[in-house]
Amino acid sequence: MPNAKNTFPSPAKKASSEEYDIVIIGSGTGGKLIAWTFASEGQRVAMIERKYVGGSCPNIACLPSKNIIHTAQVASYARRSEEFGIARGSFKLDMSAVRGRKRKMVSSLIDTHLAAYRDSGAELIMGFGRFIGPRTVEVTLNDGTKRQLKGTNVVINTSTHAAIDSIPGLAEAQPLTHIEALELDKVPEHLVVIGGGYVGVELAQAIRRFGSKVSIIDRNGRLLHREDDDVTEAIGGLFQDEGIDPILNARIKRVSGQSGQRVKVTAEQNGVEKTIEGTHILVATGRIPNTKDLGVEVAGVQVTDRGYVKVNERLETTAPGIWAVGEVAGSPQFTHISEDDFHVFHDNVNGGNHVTTGRLVPFCVFTDPEFARVGLSEKEARAKGIPYRLFKVPMAIVLRARALVETRGFLKALVATDSDRILGFMNFGVGAGEVMSAVQIAMMGRLPYISLRDAVLAHPTLVEGLHMLFGSTPSVPSETISAELPVQANA
Ligand SMILES: Cc1cc2nc3c(=O)[nH]c(=O)nc-3n(C[C@H](O)[C@H](O)[C@H](O)COP(=O)(O)OP(=O)(O)OC[C@H]3O[C@@H](n4cnc5c(N)ncnc54)[C@H](O)[C@@H]3O)c2cc1C
């Protein structure tokens, strides 16, 4: 897919189009980095955003969810205060104040974004963008007026939205998605979460900790079902201890009632019909790409059968001069990947050849404790027939975890059998995301595992647990080949 520069004629549109070097539709992470970087370099850049300055991450996804999750952790500490020798007085949760704290953070992030647009010179246009021709976008501004923009290059960064499955009664029940769940001003009496992926488990735990009764329904036999069995068992055990009711292997047949009042979810579990009654429903069952109203056809941009923009490994679409970054391009659904897509675009538009294939995709599930992984899981290694040595230790031998008395979980690493290369690392435990990042950096530098085992690491940090992990005796699982297909976590 070539990257043509100003070679696509559209004479009909030319007279009324405003010309830009780069036009971006959607101000997600990749898009905004493109806008600020290229505008700072002197290019004429227009960013079209329908609603969320800065995209999902600071407004309705990563950062507000982590803000709420942190407050939920404080609520959990408050409940456990006697364990710390702090006598508990009366304890009352004010959900509208929880929301207020989150809103304050979001609004300060928006200010930071607006300053970056001002400082870089990128033009932020608030409105809905859709293609009306090759590299030509019509923006319906929020006041109803229209503008027509043409870019030498156009970038699609419109992302995805929460899917609401076509289960009878579900859409009519007006379920919460993550957007409304992060805006609750009252604790639900009984929240029914549909979907046990990372969004579902993070929000289920947080809302439970605010005092709601929570049930979580998943069609698979385990929460976070793509992960190794010891991980899914550990998450299951955590949820059980927190009083969250998992309803697994369950196919939802119908829903009745209204979320926010009373809802009834009828599901078939292992051949038996079961009814779950609650007050609210939260759907977290997957994502749908935002391409439906984008007019991609008139721009020559093809989409996959699931509606994602078709791109090659350089993030070029099927239309010359049009690119896609972030979730809408089918990239793994993380902010750091949308950010990496920015680097791919930046290098390629400047004549380089930067590809998306083969990149490490770390991720962290922000339950408490966290689960984080980089590189291969055991399931993936087996599916690919890659032999490995398995290192695994409980968090209880990590001295920092002991000091915190937060000893739930384990550390696990896969190391090649024919070299000391680390193939994968995962941690379910306090501070897992930070420990995983340390191992990732070692993997990026191709350090053998013994470098971590023998490194001088500050005591007592959680990263010091890597001494215990890589100093332990590995096992070599006999069965390394299975018929399972490799899976990309959360992709
Ligand atoms: C609840 C939740 C928690 C998450 N937590 C994490 C996390 O902890 N860590 C992590 O790495 N990832 C997390 N993610 C995923 C992460 O939010 C996304 O992967 C990330 O924001 C990158 O998205 P993006 O760049 O593709 O686009 P987005 O950031 O989603 O931005 C796309 C933008 O395009 C705009 N838009 C869409 N269509 C149009 C149009 N036609 N015209 C104009 N504008 C348009 C939208 O309004 C939106 O602002 C989470 C997601 C959810 C839902």
**Is 362's pLDDT higher than 60?**
yes
As for ligand 1, residues whose beta carbon falls within 6 Å of it are 25-30, 48-52, 55-57, 61-62, 65, 128-130, 157-159, 178, 199, 290, 294, 326-328, 333-336, 338, 366
For residue 78, report the distance from its CA to the centre of ligand 1, in Å.
Answer: 32
Phi and psi torsions of 282, nearest 5°: -120, 125
Predicted local confidence at residue 366, as pLDDT? 98
Residues classed as catalytic: 459
Closest to 338 in 3D by CA, of 55, 97, 121, 6: 55
Domain 369-483 has CATH 3.30.390.30: yes
Nearest protein Cα to ligand 1, atom 25:
28
Mean pLDDT along residues 356-363: 96
CATH architecture of the domain with range 18-161+289-349 = 3-Layer(bba) Sandwich (3.50)
Q: What is the DSSP letter of 418?
A: S
Where residue 489 falls among pLDDT bands split at 50, 70, 90?
A: very low
Of all atoms in ligand 1, which is nearest to the CA of residue 31?
A: 25
Tokens at 331, concatenated:
């990239």
Of all atoms in ligand 1, which is nearest to the CA of residue 329?
A: 26
* Measured distance CA(323)–CA(302) in Å, rounded: 11
CATH architecture of the domain with range 171-285 = 3-Layer(bba) Sandwich (3.50)
For the chain, the average pLDDT equals 94
CATH 3.30.390.30 intervals, the chain: 369-483
Q: Is 272 exposed, middle or buried (0-12, 13-18, 19+ CB in 10 A)?
A: exposed
Nearest protein Cα to ligand 1, atom 34:
26
CATH 3.50.50.60 intervals, the chain: 18-161+289-349, 171-285
For residue 15, report the distance from its CA to the centre of ligand 1, in Å.
Answer: 34
Distances (CA, A) of 61 to 64, 205, 223, 304, 334: 6, 16, 20, 25, 10
**Is 90's pLDDT higher than 90?**
no
* Measured distance CA(235)–CA(228) in Å, rounded: 11
Mean pLDDT along residues 25-52: 98
Could you read off the pLDDT of 274-298 as tens digits, one per residue?
999 999 999 999 999 999 999 999 9
Of all atoms in ligand 1, which is nearest to the CA of residue 30?
A: 25
For residue 269, report the distance from its CA to the centre of ligand 1, in Å.
Answer: 33
For residue 231, report the distance from its CA to the centre of ligand 1, in Å.
Answer: 27
Nearest protein Cα to ligand 1, atom 7:
62
Predicted local confidence at residue 10, as pLDDT? 41
Of all atoms in ligand 1, which is nearest to the CA of residue 363?
A: 11
For residue 82, report the distance from its CA to the centre of ligand 1, in Å.
Answer: 40
Nearest protein Cα to ligand 1, atom 8:
62
Could you read off the pLDDT of 368-423 as tens digits, one per residue?
999 999 999 999 999 999 999 999 999 999 999 999 999 999 999 999 999 999 99
Predicted TM-score of the model (pTM): 0.94
Predicted local confidence at residue 211, as pLDDT? 97
Count Cβ neighbours within 10 Å for each residue of 315-324 and write b for 16 or more, e otherwise.
Answer: bbbbbbbbbb
